[in-house]
Amino acid sequence: MSREERESVNQSFVAAENELARLLHHGQSERAHVLVPIHTAAKVVGIHKETQAIEVCLDGAVISIKKAASCLLMPAVNDVVLVSGADINQAYVIAVLEQANTAQQEIAIAGNVLVSASSLTFKSEQLLSMESAQITLKAQEAHCVVEQTQFVGKEMKATIGLVQLVGKVYEAIVDRLSHMSKRAFRITEQTEQVRVGTLDYQAENSARIHAKYTMVTAKDLVKVDSDQIHMG
């Protein structure tokens, strides 16, 4: 074999090695980008309230992932959750499989929530608590049946077309009571008693007191003053 032939063979081998190396590198790069789906159960080992990140233990390694939007129940430490995703870097907690503490559950939803249904019922055997900076209630008709009610507030304003109260005992204790109306009508079947420090009645047109027996008494002085006084 001549020298030229040997150099040609060597060049062919070098070109073949370079092509093989390129193909091997391309294959490794393709395998590096292959997504390995994940769908398995894991145990929660940590919760970050600020970032909403959930730390779970997978095959001895601790990874930080987020809760899926469809998973309403907030996981807690030592809960068993279902982790699913395209790969380990795109995994989410999609469900809580088992709770470490079944006596405490939390539903956490970010942003505004709208619940729409033809009929909606909330039922609690012991306590139903609502807490908010502002509550708005709008309905065509409302029915409230409560055995005992206690209301504590700083200020209450109401604009109502008609008020009807039916009860056995009505008690009000206030520092100041103001009542203004165009017409007032009151019926007391038995006894009405008023105890005041100073009593002042003033009528623009006429004032009438009528009874079967009328008594006007005073400890020191009784004064009747008018332009005309008719008795009898």
Q: Which amino acid is at 223?
A: K
Q: Residue 231's pLDDT band (boundaries 50, 70, 90)?
A: confident
- 156 found inside a domain: no
**String of DSSP letters for the chain:** --HHHHHHHHHHHHHHHHHHHHHHHHHHHHHHT----EEEEEEEEEEETTTTEEEEEETTEEEEEEE-TT--BPP-TT-EEEEEESSGGGEEEEEEEE-S-TT---B---S------SS-----SS------S------S------S------S------S------S------S------S------SS------SS-----SS------SS-----SS------S-----
State the Cα–Cα distance between residues 70 and 47, nearest whole angstrom. 18
Range of the domain at 76: 38-98
pLDDT of residue 45: 93
- Token pair, residue 57, equals 């233990």
- 57 found inside a domain: yes
- Token pair, residue 177, equals 């009571």
Is the pLDDT assigned to residue 33 strictly greater than 60? no
Total structural domains within the chain:
1
pLDDT of residue 5: 67
- Neighbouring-strand partners of residue 83: 40, 93
- Token pair, residue 104, equals 């405490």
* pLDDT 10s digits, 190-207: 999 999 999 999 999 999
- 126 found inside a domain: no
Radius of gyration of the chain (CA): 43
- 54 found inside a domain: yes
* pLDDT 10s digits, 115-169: 899 999 989 888 889 888 999 999 999 999 998 889 899 998 999 899 999 999 9
Match 């995703």 to its residue by tokens: 85
- 159 found inside a domain: no
Q: What is the mean pLDDT of residues 21-41?
A: 66
Average pLDDT, the chain: 86
- 199 found inside a domain: no
pLDDT of residue 1: 60
- 63 found inside a domain: yes
Percent share of the chain, pLDDT over 70: 88
pLDDT of residue 99: 92
- 111 found inside a domain: no
Percent share of the chain, pLDDT over 90: 41
Q: Residue 32's pLDDT band (boundaries 50, 70, 90)?
A: very low
pLDDT of residue 14: 66
Q: Which amino acid is at 45?
A: V
Q: Looking at residue 43, which CATH number applies to its domain?
A: 2.40.50
Match 């029915």 to its residue by tokens: 143
